[in-house]
Amino acid sequence: MSGPQTFSETYTPDRLIAGLTQIVTRPETLLSGQNLARGAVVGLITASGKITLSASAAGDGSQVPYGVLADDCNASGGDLANCPVILAGEVNDNALILGAGHTLASIRAGLRDRGIYLKTPVTA
Protein backbone atom coordinates (compact mmCIF):
# COMPACT_ATOMS: atom_id res chain seq x y z
CA MET A 1 0.00 0.00 0.00
CA SER A 2 1.37 3.41 -0.89
CA GLY A 3 1.41 6.47 1.34
CA PRO A 4 -0.54 9.69 0.93
CA GLN A 5 -0.05 11.58 -2.31
CA THR A 6 0.79 15.26 -2.29
CA PHE A 7 0.71 17.86 -5.02
CA SER A 8 0.82 21.60 -5.33
CA GLU A 9 -0.89 24.13 -7.54
CA THR A 10 -0.17 27.74 -8.25
CA TYR A 11 -3.02 30.22 -8.27
CA THR A 12 -2.47 33.44 -10.15
CA PRO A 13 -5.48 35.75 -9.90
CA ASP A 14 -6.41 37.60 -13.08
CA ARG A 15 -8.36 40.16 -11.11
CA LEU A 16 -11.32 40.19 -13.53
CA ILE A 17 -13.81 40.56 -10.69
CA ALA A 18 -13.37 44.03 -9.23
CA GLY A 19 -15.86 44.53 -6.47
CA LEU A 20 -18.29 43.12 -3.98
CA THR A 21 -21.36 43.38 -6.21
CA GLN A 22 -22.98 39.99 -6.79
CA ILE A 23 -21.80 38.49 -10.08
CA VAL A 24 -24.61 37.16 -12.28
CA THR A 25 -23.73 34.72 -15.06
CA ARG A 26 -25.65 32.91 -17.75
CA PRO A 27 -24.55 29.97 -19.90
CA GLU A 28 -24.46 30.89 -23.59
CA THR A 29 -23.36 29.20 -26.82
CA LEU A 30 -20.12 30.48 -28.35
CA LEU A 31 -20.10 30.61 -32.14
CA SER A 32 -17.90 28.03 -33.84
CA GLY A 33 -14.37 29.00 -34.86
CA GLN A 34 -13.44 31.06 -31.82
CA ASN A 35 -11.12 30.49 -28.88
CA LEU A 36 -11.81 33.29 -26.40
CA ALA A 37 -10.18 33.92 -23.05
CA ARG A 38 -11.79 34.90 -19.75
CA GLY A 39 -12.49 38.63 -19.85
CA ALA A 40 -13.47 38.80 -23.54
CA VAL A 41 -16.32 41.24 -24.19
CA VAL A 42 -18.92 39.35 -26.20
CA GLY A 43 -21.93 40.35 -28.25
CA LEU A 44 -25.10 38.41 -28.99
CA ILE A 45 -25.87 37.57 -32.63
CA THR A 46 -29.53 38.46 -33.09
CA ALA A 47 -30.46 35.77 -35.64
CA SER A 48 -28.82 32.77 -33.95
CA GLY A 49 -28.73 33.80 -30.28
CA LYS A 50 -25.05 32.77 -30.11
CA ILE A 51 -22.28 34.88 -28.64
CA THR A 52 -19.13 36.07 -30.38
CA LEU A 53 -16.33 38.52 -29.67
CA SER A 54 -18.01 41.92 -29.97
CA ALA A 55 -16.58 44.08 -32.77
CA SER A 56 -17.85 47.61 -33.37
CA ALA A 57 -18.23 47.13 -37.16
CA ALA A 58 -20.34 43.96 -36.93
CA GLY A 59 -23.85 44.25 -38.32
CA ASP A 60 -25.45 41.14 -36.81
CA GLY A 61 -26.26 42.54 -33.37
CA SER A 62 -22.97 41.44 -31.81
CA GLN A 63 -21.56 44.96 -32.20
CA VAL A 64 -23.43 45.77 -28.98
CA PRO A 65 -21.57 44.35 -25.96
CA TYR A 66 -23.73 41.76 -24.21
CA GLY A 67 -21.45 40.55 -21.43
CA VAL A 68 -18.00 39.36 -20.38
CA LEU A 69 -16.75 35.78 -20.55
CA ALA A 70 -16.28 34.40 -17.05
CA ASP A 71 -14.03 31.56 -18.25
CA ASP A 72 -11.92 30.54 -21.24
CA CYS A 73 -14.09 29.03 -24.00
CA ASN A 74 -12.76 27.18 -27.04
CA ALA A 75 -15.22 26.68 -29.90
CA SER A 76 -12.52 25.86 -32.46
CA GLY A 77 -14.17 22.52 -33.22
CA GLY A 78 -17.80 23.71 -33.37
CA ASP A 79 -20.32 25.72 -31.41
CA LEU A 80 -19.64 25.44 -27.67
CA ALA A 81 -22.61 25.45 -25.31
CA ASN A 82 -22.54 26.51 -21.67
CA CYS A 83 -19.92 29.27 -21.86
CA PRO A 84 -20.41 31.33 -18.70
CA VAL A 85 -21.06 35.00 -19.45
CA ILE A 86 -21.08 37.71 -16.78
CA LEU A 87 -24.29 39.71 -17.18
CA ALA A 88 -24.03 41.79 -14.02
CA GLY A 89 -21.35 42.80 -11.55
CA GLU A 90 -18.16 44.83 -11.24
CA VAL A 91 -15.23 43.95 -13.52
CA ASN A 92 -11.70 45.26 -13.83
CA ASP A 93 -11.47 47.25 -17.06
CA ASN A 94 -7.76 46.40 -17.33
CA ALA A 95 -8.62 42.67 -17.53
CA LEU A 96 -11.02 42.99 -20.47
CA ILE A 97 -10.31 41.76 -23.99
CA LEU A 98 -11.92 44.04 -26.56
CA GLY A 99 -12.84 43.25 -30.15
CA ALA A 100 -11.86 45.37 -33.13
CA GLY A 101 -13.01 48.97 -32.94
CA HIS A 102 -14.07 48.91 -29.30
CA THR A 103 -12.50 51.01 -26.57
CA LEU A 104 -13.30 51.15 -22.88
CA ALA A 105 -14.99 54.49 -23.51
CA SER A 106 -17.17 53.04 -26.28
CA ILE A 107 -18.45 50.11 -24.22
CA ARG A 108 -18.65 51.60 -20.72
CA ALA A 109 -22.18 53.10 -20.90
CA GLY A 110 -23.69 50.13 -22.73
CA LEU A 111 -22.34 47.62 -20.24
CA ARG A 112 -23.42 49.82 -17.34
CA ASP A 113 -26.97 49.82 -18.74
CA ARG A 114 -26.81 46.01 -18.71
CA GLY A 115 -25.62 45.93 -15.07
CA ILE A 116 -21.88 45.50 -15.66
CA TYR A 117 -19.77 48.19 -14.05
CA LEU A 118 -16.21 48.75 -15.26
CA LYS A 119 -13.78 49.70 -12.52
CA THR A 120 -10.20 50.82 -12.76
CA PRO A 121 -8.18 49.39 -9.89
CA VAL A 122 -6.27 51.78 -7.68
CA THR A 123 -2.58 50.97 -7.53
CA ALA A 124 -0.18 52.14 -4.87
Q: Whole-model pTM?
A: 0.87
Each of the 124 residues of the chain gets a pLDDT tens digit; together they read 566 777 777 656 668 998 888 999 999 999 999 999 999 999 999 999 999 999 999 999 999 999 999 999 999 999 999 999 999 999 999 999 999 999 999 999 999 999 999 998 776 5
Name the residue among 114, 99, 119 with its Cα closest to residue 24: 114
**DSSP letter string, 72-101:** -EE-TTS-EEEEEEEEEEEEEGGG-BPPTT
Pick from 82, 94, 90: nearest CA to 111: 90
Domain 24-118: which CATH number of 2.40.300.10, 3.30.413.10, 2.40.40.20, 1.20.140.10: 2.40.300.10
Report the alpha-carbon distance of residue 119 to residue 20 in Å, rounded: 12
